[in-house]
Amino acid sequence: MDPSVKAAIVTGAGSGIGRVTALALLREGYAVALAGRRREALDETLEQSGRARSRAIAVPTDVTDPDSVRALFEAANRAFGRIDLLFNNAGTGAPAVPLEDVTLDQWRRVIDANLTGTFLCTREAFRFMKRQEPQGGRIINNGSVSAHVPRPDSAPYTAAKHAITGMTRSTALDGRAFGITCGQVDIGNAATEMTARMQGGVRQANGSVAPEPTIDAEHVARAVLYMASLPPDANVLFLTVMAAGMPFVGRG
């Protein structure tokens, strides 16, 4: 591959924010490894990439499995020769139930996908980014506004996203000496399959149910592109992209 082309890995690239961001990176000229659990969903992303498809590969990946993550990075490195960007986007949620009704399996599923998956991908990225020439790269984590405040009945997801903030800070610190930067994009109500229910009404902190506004996921992709476009000596540590009218700031 042309050494002037930057290479990225996007997890959760088969749908939602991951798909939109992967396509935006391809339009920007990146080579992109599309990672996700479902081959058919990754193939749909490839089909939507048009002429940029020649710069993309689909790698079915379970981010909770160390061997699967290792195979993803090896495949990307073989295809592109280096890894300049990792977007840790893969994740899942749990049913909105009272905290005492959350099962251990539900808790572990959310923590494994959102937090352990981010750790495993970051660990592998460090191994490649430290030894490649030139050394370094950039990691961007999908944090969510839940990294700041919870929704009712969301303990597993909120705990995982708060932990991502700590992971972002530690990654930024530990990567500093090796030219590895790390930032976090906290997203509020991007219009994806996961947020479709919000227009019909979701539970609020005061117990009421109310519809919430959403924003086009392309705004998130543009934010990631901006973060990725910075030179190695600059970093956006935290960036919030949200629907202006969502109930994120205020009381009650």
Distance of CA 33 to the CA centre of its chain: 14
Rounded to an integer, what distance in angstroms lies between the CA atom of residue 119 and that of residue 91?
A: 12
- Residues 6 or more apart whose Cβ sits within 8 Å of residue 99: 153, 155
Q: What beta strand segments (E) does the chain contain?
A: 7-11, 31-36, 56-60, 85-88, 137-142, 180-188, 190-191, 202-203, 209-210, 215-216, 238-242
96: its two tokens? 């909105």
Q: Annotated catalytic sites, by residue?
A: 157
